[in-house]
Amino acid sequence: MMKGQVLEPATGGVLAEVPWATAADVDDAVRRAALAQREWSRADPAHRAEVMIAIAEAVRAEAEELARLEARNVGMPIADARGAMAGVASTFRYYSATPERLLGSTIPVSGGLDMTFHEPFGVVGLITPWNYPLSIATWKVAPALAAGNGVVLKPSELTPLTALELQRIVVEAGLPEGLFNVVVGPGDPVGQMLVDHPDIRKVGFTGSTAVGRTIARQAGDRLKRVTLELGGKSAALVFADADLQAAAAGLAGGVFGNSGQDCCARSRVFVERPAMEEFLAYVKETTAAMRVGDPLDENTQMGPLISQRQRERVASYVSQAPVLFEGSAPDGPGFWYPPTVLHPVDDDHPAARDEIFGPVVCVLPFDSEDEAVRRANDTSYGLAGSIWSHDGARALRIARAMEAGALAVNSYSSVRVNTPFGGFKDSGLGRELGPDAPLAYTELKNVFVKT
């Protein structure tokens, strides 16, 4: 049996060894999920709601251990990991409403009665990345289970540990054995097996745009349903009338958060030219004040990158670009990289166009509202964005004009369990979270009854 080593990015040492799933293991997981799903989809909706609540409570009870594990495996600061685990519990709680409220409709027709049902797919396959492992998995797992499906989840091979804990927790909380399965291993072949499996009817994926395209292509051959949450190169537009200090201070979370390994990172910050000097002074303060270090230290704001490979990728972008200033980072061992500000940068520079997925922000001047919107939209991505201004009408006008799925005014926030999340253009297909997420894990059925 092949085993994968799971590393601790803050030290570069081995945190765990996890067996990789074989094709037979994947088959077995799908079969078990299909078997359990038949019972689950017919169980009393009130019972299914109770189980979802019990999972939320069980996650809450183990939140500290889960947060520490996530912090060590991802390199995420413990304070952020605690927030992430609270979010995981909230997500299960929020979708506990689904089993009893997945309502169909009746439609006036002639000659009979007509009604609709939201039917679960059966077994769905979920494939997730390493940056927020349990959070992103839960955004899919909770609505999929709540809508009556069985689930096979393939987490990133770099960060499978909290998903494996969740597999134990859900059964202890009362979810039928076999309904939720975790299979570990590389995207190719283990993720591929889920995409190809004839009994998996829907794939929910979060990851890079390149892999998302491959999955969509392969799923298309089988007309398999997909939801894709992909990369981003999101913009923040900072106007001269904004609270410049707040806009700059927010970059600690808005682009350096999780070491910039955040699909919503506002890594292009467009600043109205008269405000540039003052804004940069605040950005310098924010960057210098970032506390980069041990993820388990309560005061840490930024940990290491996920891997040596990721560090090399970030360094190669920065080596080609004009660095205005950078913060500090430990020397090593571990995969450290300092928060870094690039300025001036051309919009066409690779650092300003590509998703770097590191703590690197490009600051770019603009002269007019139209120009700012045009340049913000001049990207193949369209995930998130921010508008910083005290002119409410302008902020709303720009929010409507920006080609992105998750926008915020005077804030860098992107994700809430009860609001929809997802991307325009190359940033994805479909939406997660919010009240409609369970619908993405169902097929709509219409039934006519002759009377």
Residue 414 near ligand NDP by CB under 6 A: no
Separation CA 203–CA 201 (nearest Å): 7
Of the candidates 7, 215, 219, 356, which one interacts with ligand NDP according to CB under 6 A? 215
Q: How far apart are CA 36 and CA 342, in angstroms?
A: 52
Applying CB under 6 A, among 25, 229, 272, 426 the residue interacting with ligand NDP is: 229
Nearer to ligand NDP (CB atom), residue 220 or residue 392: 220
Query: Least distance to ligand NDP from the beta carbon of 332, Å?
Result: 22
Q: Are strands 180-182 and 406-409 parallel, antiparallel or unpaired?
A: unpaired
Task: Compute the least distance from the CB of residue 204 to ligand NDP, in Å.
Answer: 11
Q: Nearest distance from residue 192's CB to ligand NDP, in Å?
A: 5
- Separation between Cα atoms, residue 115 and residue 125, nearest integer Å: 29
Q: What are the beta bridge partners of residue 421?
A: 432
Q: Which of 65, 188, 241, 370 binds ligand NDP (CB under 6 A)?
A: 188
| Closer to ligand NDP by Cβ: residue 232 or 358 | 232
Which of 69, 102, 169, 230 lies at the binding interface for ligand NDP (CB under 6 A)?
230
Q: State which of residues 180, 282, 357, 366 lies at the interface with ligand NDP (CB under 6 A).
A: 357
DSSP E strand stretches across 218-280: 225-229, 235-238, 268-272
Q: What interhelical angle do 133-146 and 78-94 show, nearest 10?
A: 0
Q: What is the DSSP letter of 204?
A: E
Cβ closest to ligand NDP, residue 325 vs residue 424: 424
* Residue list 371-390, contact with ligand NDP (CB under 6 A): 383
Say how many CA atoms lie within 13 Å of 221 toward its Cβ. 9
Active site residue 285: no
Exactly one of 9, 99, 178, 191 binds ligand NDP (CB under 6 A); that residue is 191
Please identify the residue of the shown chain whose CB is closest to the bound ligand NDP.
187
Q: Is residue 339 near ligand NDP by the rule CB under 6 A? A: no
Half-sphere exposure of 448 (CA within 13 A, CB side): 6
Work out which of 355, 363, 406, 433 binds ligand NDP, going by CB under 6 A.
355
Q: How far is the CB of 158 from ligand NDP (least distance, A)?
A: 6
- Total residues belonging to the chain: 451
Give yes or no for residue 186 binding ligand NDP (CB under 6 A): yes
**Residue 445 CB burial class (10 angstroms; 0-12, 13-18, ≥19):** exposed
Told to check if 231 binds ligand NDP by CB under 6 A, we report yes
- What six digits make up the tokens of 264? 């919503």
For the record, the structure tokens of 195 come out as: 């995409």
Instruction: Give the three-class secondary structure for 74.
Output: helix
Q: Which of 263, 341, 372, 433 binds ligand NDP (CB under 6 A)?
A: 263
Given a contact cutoff of 8 angstroms between Cβ atoms, the answer to whether 341 and 324 are in contact is yes
């900072």: which residue's tokens?
Answer: 238
Which stretch, 116-124, 229-237, 241-249, 434-442, contacts ligand NDP (CB under 6 A)?
229-237
Amino acid residing at 335: F
Residue 310: CB partners within 8 Å, gap ≥ 6?
261, 335, 357, 358
Residue 420 CB, shortest distance to ligand NDP, in Å, is 12
8 Å CB contact between 173 and 145: no
Site mask for ligand NDP (CB under 6 A), range 116-145, x = bound: -----------xxxxx----x---------
Helix H or strand E encompassing 225? strand 225-229
The reply on whether position 408 binds ligand NDP by CB under 6 A is: no
Interface residues with ligand NDP (CB under 6 A)?
127-131, 136, 154, 156-157, 186-188, 191-192, 195, 206-208, 211, 214-215, 229-232, 263, 355, 357, 383, 423, 428
Q: Which residues are catalytic?
A: 229
